Structures are given as C-alpha cells and as structure tokens.
Amino acid sequence: MNWTPPFIWLLCLSVCECWRVTRSLPALHGQVESPNFPQPYQASLSQQWDISVPEGYQVQLSFTHLDIEPSANCYYDSLTVLYNQKVLGKFCGQENSADGHHPGNQPLLSPSNSLTLVFQTDDMNPEQHQHLGFSIHYQAKDIDECSALDTKDGPVCSQLCHNTLGSYICLCHHGYELRPDQRTCVLSCGGGIFNEPEGTLSSPGYPAPSPHGLACQYVISLELGFIVTLNFTDSFHIESIDTQNGPSCLYHWLQMSIPEKEPQKLCGGQSPGLVPINSNTVQLDYHTDWDGLSQGWSLHYTTQRVQCASPMSVTNGRVTPNFSQYFYRDYIQVRCDDGYKLMMDGKEIKSYASMCQNNGQWHLSLPECHIIDCGEPEPLLNGQITPLSGSQNQYKSSIQYQCNTPFYSLLGESTRRYTCAKDRMWRDDLGISVFPSCIPVCGKPTVSISGIRRIMGGDRAPANSIPWQVMLNVEGGRGGAMVIGDRWIMTAAHNLVKEGKPAEKDKVRVFVGDVDAVKLSKSPHLGVASLHTHPEYNNQNFANYNHDIALIKLQQPVTFHAAIMPLCLPPEDAVYTSHQTGIVSGFGIKEDDMIANELRYIRLPVVDQNICETSINEAKKERQKENIPFLTDNMFCVGVPEGGKDSCQGDSGGAYALKNARDGSFWAAGIFSWGVGCGMRGRYGVYTRVAKYIDWINKTMEENK
C-alpha cells in the first residue's frame, strides 16, 4: 500500500470541488447498470466498467438489483467483478434462485480504490423469460489501514495507529518519537535546548539501556555571565572499546562541545562526576550505533554566576560589601576613610561603584584614597599662623592663630587652634570654621607711667608710655588728638573748623609714634581720608564749645606697635568720678614757659561738675567783657583748685585718659576743649565728655568703613 502524507490529502480535499469539474478526480459514488436496464438485456453483450474512487478508499459495491440468466458457474451470462485482473466474484441468477450465484445483500469491497466490472451475455436465449440485468451502486469507503494485516516489516505502525479518512498516521507512546520512516517509534532523546538555570538530562530510556542508533543532541545555553557545571550521577555507562591505545569511544559516545575548546568524548563505566564547564553554553551529543550496549547516563546541571576576582583592599578606604566571593552583577562601592578622598586617574570623584560584568571583569578598576587638605589658611593680619602638627595642610594638621601681642589680640583668647577637618575646613576645637581677626589692644601702653609719679605736676612722658598721642598740624597750627582705632583719630572739633569753615583734609597732618616733636614733625604724616566734625558743633564766636568733638579717618590703617597704640573708647557704663585722676598729655604743655618739644603728661583729677560750673560762673562775672563760653552736660572739668602752671596746658584736642579699674586700660574720657585763665587758682580745663558721644562715634565709624 502506498502511504500518502496526510497533509497532501487534506489539501486535496479542500480543492476537490475544482478538481471534480476537471474530472481528474474519481467520484466518491456512482451507479452502474446493465444496458437498457430496467428493460431486459440483449444477447451477445460484452461490456466493461472501470470504477475508481480516490486513493485511500475502497470501492464498495451494493447490488440494488441483479437478474441475470442463471447457469452453473454463470457459464452463459455473468457479471464479473475484478480487481487487478483477479476475480473477486462472478455473479448470475436472481435473489433466492436456486441456480446461479447471487451476491446477496452483502456489499462487496474491493481491496483498493478500483474495480472492474465485466458483463457478458451469450448469443442464445433459451428461455422465454427475459432477464432485466443489474443495477449497482458503488461508493468510496474509507480503508481502515490500521486494521490491515501486518506488512512484511512488522505492524503498520510500530506503536499506535490512527485511521483517518483515506489514510492513517502512526503515533508513538509518550517518551518515544516517530522515526523518519513515519512508522516505527524510538525512545525520545529528550534533547533540545535547555536554558533553565538548572535541570536534569539523561540518556533515552534511562535507567534502561540506551536504544541503538541514537543521535541525540542536548544544548545547555544560558545568558552570558553564567557558567554551567555538570554533575553526572554514579551510574554511568557508555560502551567503550579496548584498543591498542587503551579504551576508546569508538561506537558509542557522549561528546561534550564547549565553544573555543576541543570537543571531548566520554565513554566507559566511570562517572565523570562533577564537570565544570566554565562557559555559558555546552553541547552534548549522544551517539549509539546499531550494535553494542550502553547502560546510559544521567546528569544534573547547575549554573553559577561568573566570578570576578575579589577586589584588593584600598588603602585608607573601605570596599563594601565584603563578600568572600563576587559574582556577575554583584557590585562594590569604595568609600574613603574620614579625611581621604576618592581619586581615579588623577581626578577626584564623588563616589565609586563597580559591577562584576558577565565576562568576569570589574567594569572599573579600583580607585585610590588620597588624604585631603584644607588649603592654606587665611592669612592673619597683625598676627601669625604657626603650624602645630601635620604637613601640607593635610587632614588633621593643626595650626595656631596668634595675634601680634601685646598690640593685638584675638577676641577673648590669646591663641586659637584650628585643625583640618574631614570636610576640608579648618575648624577650631568647637568646630567653628570662621577665622578670627586680630583686634587692636587699646589703652595698654607697654611702658607704664602710673607708677612713675604719684604727685601732681608735669613730667616728660617716657617713650611708648602714651602711644595714643597724636600731633596734629592743621593749616600750620598745632593741636593734639588721640588714636582710637587703626583708621581713626579723635580730636576737638575746633581744631578742624576755623572761623566757621571746615579745614581742608589735605591741610590736616597727623603725626604719631614719637615723643620728640621735632623728630615727629619730620616723620611722614598719615594720610587723611576724611574729616568728621560733630554735626551740631557751631562755635561762631569762640563762645560755644558744645559738641567739640571730631573724627579723622585715615587713608591707611596703622599697624600698632609699642609707639602707636589706640586709646580705648569709653566703656558703656563709663562714670566720671570726682577726684579720680587721669592723664593729660601733649606737646604743648609748657615747661618754664617754653613750648616743650617733648611729650609731657600731667596727672589731674576730674572736678565735681558743680564746682566746675561755679568756677565758670565766677569767671563770667569777673570778665564780663570777655565772651566766656558756657558749660554744658557734654563737658566736664579737669584740674586742681589751687591751680598751677601745668594744670591746663595739654594740647587742645588731646586726650584726658582715665584708667578702667576693671582691666587697667586707659580710656578716652575727655578731649581738651577750652579753659579760662590757664593755671589760675580756681580755674579748670574744660573737656568734651566723650562718653556722651559713643553713639555718634560708633555711627560715624560704621558709616565710613
């Protein structure tokens, strides 16, 4: 029997309608009748019908009527059914007739899809009775190929047979597959591609011995970044042949192919056990020929992520996480210890992370941790920075800020230590990163005069004992003033306003730093930036010395030293206690009626304000013709009641300095303003009460920074 692939037949069925039109496909049924039927047939007939139905079918004949002259062996008239020239039946007679050979009610089947009918009659008709002939219906009948007898090679299908219209297909039990002959089944290889992370593979039929003629392929293939490990079970047996060169996998083998490596054949009775593949893919080819015996094999495979080398340690840094091994997709970070920064390729980086790649390499090489530095600390004006420890301003180096004592001090402290912190800032012990500045020390001369003379009267001022002393030269006239800041000089307003007109600042010369007036006047004077007389000072007729105060701003800040130091401004709680003694100083104090060329000083007490007022009033009465100025609360008197040649001779605009009992510093209590009858009994020097002007002084300085 010819086997027709079922799909071709299905195709035929679907286009049958067209094919029938062209008559190239046999009909599925039909009718064959004797000539003239249902009229009696004639003598001497010989007619043949070739009936065919589509392949895969049998022809089934159903005799709807048969009436042919009966004779022994249907000798005279007959209908013969032939298949392949073989007679399937020869019919004559009538139903129920004693003679002849009637097919009865049973249909007649041809072995295949064709039949030949031959109707023959003789030339004599011995009877009067006339016979009608026959009428046959034929139809295609599906062949049950499956129940056909075994072929010479064995059963039609070696395992399961499924009959279909016009054909059949062979099927295999689970675990078997149809071989190319489409008839026999072999144990399935169970091969193919394995891409699960783990799995089990075994030879077909395992643990039964392997079938012959196998060519099974198994491919384990995972994504890059994974490696495969095979673990063969102990029961491993593949036929090996002993040759001169030892056992050889000649006829049966399991071949392992790993990319870029020589394939390797396994056989014998010894399990390879654990076989690391070191690749993400491996192909296994199991081969048996038609002879020999292999008991088979089984293996479990697992996959591992590709391993990256453990990172080295980073000096002064930490690699996290700390695993004993690192695999594909693991990533590490590196953090530097406090005080260190991440560096890669000579550049600082903010953060570092590196991943183990699928090729087993880290995607970045390790960074380095370099010590940080805080940079040069800000220089300190009028002070020094001393390194204490460490070098190159590196992390944890410490430095000391120190002002040039005794002329400058750090606010409240003598030194301040700064350490380079992990945020690269210099920070002091409290964590403050603001650098201090050196503020001038005021009112503390390096040479003390307080102990020199206890009695009243003038004397030469030793060098550096009154370092705030200023010699003023305004448009040729000499006056006094005092240093109160590195840019500020304070004096009396009347020194800077002559006849109601303010002096030009270019004509104001400021000399400081010596007790010798001649030397001083030859020394370079300090440049004046601006003049600030008190806005309410208005002394048209030399009769109103109210608000007799002025400030001179210098162009450059003065650097203080023993010979030049500022006088303090009045403390907030300044009091002018009567009889308290202060120091008046100046180049104008006369000695034996000679203008001194050296700085002199006198210790004089503060006078009770009532006594002072009385003294002024008396003077007014005595000298009515003169325009005696009046006393205000912004003034106070200094001097002794008995008078004395030295009592009022300080340079106009110079300082009256009182000592602060709390810290021993001198402060600017007064500015010598005016007086009546110098050195006379009961007459005093009148001074501007500086404490009244704190706010103005402060404001002026603030506004003219």
* Binding positions for Ca(2+): 69, 77, 122, 142, 145, 163, 239, 289
Quick check: is 212 catalytic? no
Residue type, 701: M
For residue 481, give Cα distances in angstroms to 542, 639, 673: 20, 19, 11
Q: Which of residues 234-253 bind ligand NAG (CB under 6 A)?
A: none
Q: Which is nearer to ligand NAG, 188 or 231 (CB)?
A: 231
- Cβ atoms < 10 Å from Cβ of 402: 20
694 lines the binding site for ligand NAG (CB under 6 A): yes
- Strands 93-94, 57-68: parallel, antiparallel or unpaired by DSSP? antiparallel
- CA 630, chain centre distance (Å): 80
Q: Which is nearer to ligand NAG, 231 or 446 (CB)?
A: 231
* Residue 83 near residue 116, CB atoms below 8 Å: yes
Residues 6+ away with beta carbon under 8 Å from 454:
none
Q: What is the CA radius of gyration of the chain?
A: 67
Residue 625's SS3 state is coil
CB of 275 to ligand NAG, least distance (A): 10
* Residue 239 near residue 251, CB atoms below 8 Å: yes
* Residue 192 near residue 243, CB atoms below 8 Å: no
Q: Which is nearer to ligand NAG, 117 or 299 (CB)?
A: 299
Phi, then psi, of 131 in degrees rounded to 5: -100, 145
Total residues interacting with ligand NAG, rule: CB under 6 A: 8
Q: Which is nearer to ligand NAG, 272 or 679 (CB)?
A: 272
CB of 569 to ligand NAG, least distance (A): 5
Strand residues in 361-494 grouped as ranges (E)? 368-371, 383-389, 398-403, 408-410, 415-420, 426-428, 438-440, 458-460, 469-474, 477-485, 488-491
665 lines the binding site for ligand NAG (CB under 6 A): no
State how far the Cα of 587 lies from the Cα of 407, in Å rounded to an integer: 24
Quick check: is 652 catalytic? yes
What are the structure tokens assigned to 475, written together? 């448009």
Binding site: what residues are annotated? Answer: 69, 77, 122, 142, 145, 163, 239, 289
Sequence length of the chain is 705
Residue 98's SS3 state is coil
Q: Which residue out of 112, 354, 652, 673 is catalytically annotated? A: 652
Greatest distance between any 2 Cα atoms in the chain: 206
274 lines the binding site for ligand NAG (CB under 6 A): yes
According to DSSP, residue 560 is labeled: P
CB of 698 to ligand NAG, least distance (A): 4
Q: Which residue out of 285, 514, 548, 651 is catalytically annotated? A: 548
698 lines the binding site for ligand NAG (CB under 6 A): yes
CB of 245 to ligand NAG, least distance (A): 31
Q: Which is nearer to ligand NAG, 442 or 686 (CB)?
A: 442
Q: Which is nearer to ligand NAG, 161 or 569 (CB)?
A: 569
233 lines the binding site for ligand NAG (CB under 6 A): yes
CB of 354 to ligand NAG, least distance (A): 16
User: Which strand (E) or helix (H) includes residue 701?
Assistant: helix 694-703
Quick check: is 548 catalytic? yes
322 lines the binding site for ligand NAG (CB under 6 A): yes
CB of 428 to ligand NAG, least distance (A): 22
According to DSSP, residue 475 is labeled: T
333 lines the binding site for ligand NAG (CB under 6 A): no
Residues 519-558 as x/- pattern, contact with ligand NAG by CB under 6 A: ----------------------------------------
Q: Which of residues 557-586 bind ligand NAG (CB under 6 A)?
A: 569
Active-site positions read 494, 548, 652
**Residues at the site binding ligand NAG, with contacts judged by CB under 6 A:** 231, 233, 274, 322, 324, 569, 694, 698
